[in-house]
């Protein structure tokens, strides 16, 4: 039973049903065993899928039909030679040549570095700004994310095998959330087969009946699940179960530089396990709108505003107050490829 603060917050917890809120642990309504036994979680998931399909139908015309067909089948796209070679060469040179204040996070054998690409950094990166403004880049994010919404973008460097430790939390198969949502990587480096390539379970963006039954059972106890991230609504799944849920084998994507990998990360995916030490650099982007709005939006909101920086500043302030951060911190000037 929730304490008195829980009851005070009850109306807010209930209102969160109409948003992308996903944490079974932090919201006693979303986490309620009784409600989820009655099908609350699965009802939200089903409704979100239906509404997203309608929004996507309206966003589809901006997309080459082949992209749309391949995405609808697989839940992800890997598009080689995404940018014209000359533009890609300029973009890579300017991004790798910059020293910019960066945030870093060490988890397991991985160090991740992020440099935001926003109103602060993009004016000094004209080729990058030009590439990210390309209509196809935007149309793919809008369609797969099912919202007309400028994605948040970063230079993301993933150094795997930096120390003797187990793989990071992203390296376990999971869904990011219960509703269609988009993430992408425009790779600036090759990602060979034995490195930490993005790995996706084809078709898992459209759950099988067995997947829905599994997720329904999981939702009943998820609030108290031993895996913290499952409790927070990013469901972890064992590789052996994926086949039992009726999915084909996962695909670990080995790609060349200038490939755009873009996926609906409500499907099962993970960061592939690297066999030795490896480094991959990408322009990473994500966007997430309200899963239940019937309209796709006008496309005015989104990246460029200081939202991400404000969010980070709040997180850092909270970490200072409580003495417990989430591990991400500003580390000073870094260029994307500089070893940790
Ligand atoms: O970096 C990757 O390959 C995947 C990481 C992941 O699961 C995510 O960003 O949601
Ligand atoms: Fe993920």
Tens of pLDDT, residues 135-144: 999 999 999 9
Considering the chain, what is the average pLDDT of its residues?
A: 95
Which pLDDT score, from 0 to 100, does residue 6 have?
67
The reply to whether 100 falls in a domain is yes
pLDDT tens string 103-158: 999 999 999 999 999 999 999 999 999 999 999 999 999 999 999 999 999 999 99
pLDDT-derived band at 305, boundaries 50, 70, 90 = low
The reply to whether 340 falls in a domain is no
Give the DSSP per-residue string, 103-158: EEEEETTEEEEEEEESTTTGGG-HHHHHHHT-HHHHHHHHHHHTS--BPEEEEEEE
| Ligand closest to the CA atom of residue 175 | 2
The reply to whether 339 falls in a domain is no
Which pLDDT score, from 0 to 100, does residue 8 have?
78
The reply to whether 311 falls in a domain is yes
State the CATH number of the domain containing residue 45: 2.60.120.620
Residues with CB under 6 A from ligand 1: 170, 176, 183, 198, 265, 269-271
The reply to whether 68 falls in a domain is yes
Q: What residue owns the CA closest to ligand 1's atom 8?
A: 170
Q: Can you tell me the distance from the alpha carbon of 167 to that of 197, in angstroms, rounded to the nearest whole number?
A: 13
Q: Can you tell me the distance from the alpha carbon of 141 to that of 151, in angstroms, rounded to the nearest whole number?
A: 7
Q: How far is the CA of 336 from the centre of ligand 2 (A)?
A: 21
Biggest distance spanned by C-alpha atoms of the chain: 62
- In the chain, the number of structural domains is 1
pLDDT at 302 over 70: no
Neighbours of 88 (CB within 10 A): 18
Which pLDDT score, from 0 to 100, does residue 170 have?
94
DSSP 306: S
Q: Can you tell me the distance from the alpha carbon of 297 to that of 151, in angstroms, rounded to the nearest whole number?
A: 13
The reply to whether 30 falls in a domain is yes
The reply to whether 37 falls in a domain is yes
Q: 205 is in which domain, residue-wise? A: 4-334
Q: What residue owns the CA closest to ligand 1's atom 2?
A: 271
Q: Can you tell me the distance from the alpha carbon of 50 to that of 125, in angstroms, rounded to the nearest whole number?
A: 39
Query: What is the pTM assigned to this prediction?
Result: 0.96
pLDDT tens string 19-41: 999 999 999 999 999 999 999 99
- Give whole-number Cα distances, 11 to 16, 18, 227, in Å: 9, 12, 27
Atom of ligand 1 nearest to the CA of 156: 1
DSSP 80: S
pLDDT tens string 236-289: 999 999 999 999 999 999 999 999 999 999 999 999 999 999 999 999 999 999
Q: How far is the CA of 265 from the centre of ligand 2 (A)?
A: 6
Q: How far is the CA of 162 from the centre of ligand 1 (A)?
A: 18
């Amino acid at each position: 039973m929730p304490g008195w603060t829980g009851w005070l917050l009850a109306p807010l917890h209930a209102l969160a049903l109409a948003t992308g809120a996903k944490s079974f642990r932090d919201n006693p309504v979303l986490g309620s065993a009784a409600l989820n036994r009655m099908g609350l979680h699965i009802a939200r998931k089903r409704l979100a899928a239906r509404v997203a399909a309608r929004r996507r139908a309206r966003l589809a015309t901006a997309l080459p039909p082949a992209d749309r067909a391949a995405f609808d089948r697989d839940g992800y796209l890997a598009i080689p030679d995404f940018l014209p070679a000359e533009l890609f060469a300029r973009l890579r040179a300017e991004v790798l040549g910059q020293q910019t204040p960066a945030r870093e996070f060490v988890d397991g054998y991985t160090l991740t570095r992020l440099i935001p690409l926003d109103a602060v950094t993009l004016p000094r990166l004209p080729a990058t700004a030009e590439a990210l403004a390309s209509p196809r880049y935007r149309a793919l994010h809008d369609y797969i994310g099912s919202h007309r919404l400028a994605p948040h973008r970063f230079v993301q460097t993933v150094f795997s095998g930096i120390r003797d430790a187990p793989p990071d939390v992203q390296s376990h198969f999971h869904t990011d959330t219960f509703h269609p949502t988009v993430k992408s990587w425009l790779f600036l480096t090759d990602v060979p087969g034995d490195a930490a390539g993005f790995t996706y379970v084809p078709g898992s963006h459209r759950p099988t009946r067995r997947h829905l039954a599994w997720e329904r059972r999981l939702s009943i106890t998820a609030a108290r699940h031993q895996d913290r991230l499952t409790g927070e609504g990013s469901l972890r799944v064992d590789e052996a179960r994926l086949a039992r849920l009726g999915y084909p084998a996962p695909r670990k994507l080995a790609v060349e530089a200038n490939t755009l990998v873009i996926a609906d990360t409500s499907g099962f995916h993970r960061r592939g396990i690297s066999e030795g030490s490896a480094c991959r650099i990408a322009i990473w982007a994500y966007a997430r709108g309200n899963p239940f709005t019937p309209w796709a939006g006008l496309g005015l909101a989104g990246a460029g505003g200081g939202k991400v920086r404000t969010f980070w500043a709040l997180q850092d302030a909270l970490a200072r107050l409580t003495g417990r951060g989430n591990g991400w911190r500003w580390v000073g000037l870094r260029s994307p490829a500089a070893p940790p």
